Amino acid sequence: MNPARREPDVSTYSGRVAQRLRKLRDRAGLSVQEVLERMERHGYKLSVQGYYKWENGRAKVDLDAIPALAKALRLKSLKELFPSR
């Protein structure tokens, strides 16, 4: 079961990162579970609740997770995870 979707506060940089994370996952056509399975294959384990906290802006993305997250989302560059403004 998915937790209730909460929109991040995009007036903050961390909120924009959260929003970007959701857009990238949607663009890749992946479920949260699929992202987590791919991240684990790349050496980073996270709970579903932890991931949703990232997407909702209730927690900041762990710096150690960024390489595995970028690979899971099939990004060409780590920079793609971060909003430009």
For residue 81, what is the DSSP state?
A: G
C-alpha to C-alpha distances, 84 to 5, 6, 31, 35, 49, nearest whole angstrom: 24, 22, 25, 23, 27
**pLDDT above 90 for 8:** no
Q: Domain map of the chain by residue range?
A: 31-77
Q: What are phi and psi of 60, to 5 degrees?
A: -85, 145
What is the arithmetic mean of pLDDT over 56-77?
95
Determine contact, residues 73/25, Cβ cutoff 8 Å.
Answer: yes
9-33 tens-digit pLDDT: 888 988 999 999 999 999 999 999 9
Query: Would you state the pLDDT for residue 50?
Result: 97
Q: Strands (DSSP E) along 3-72, which ranges?
A: none
Reported pTM: 0.86
**pLDDT above 70 for 3:** no
What is the arithmetic mean of pLDDT over 60-64?
94
Residues 72, 36, 61, 11, CA torsion sign: positive
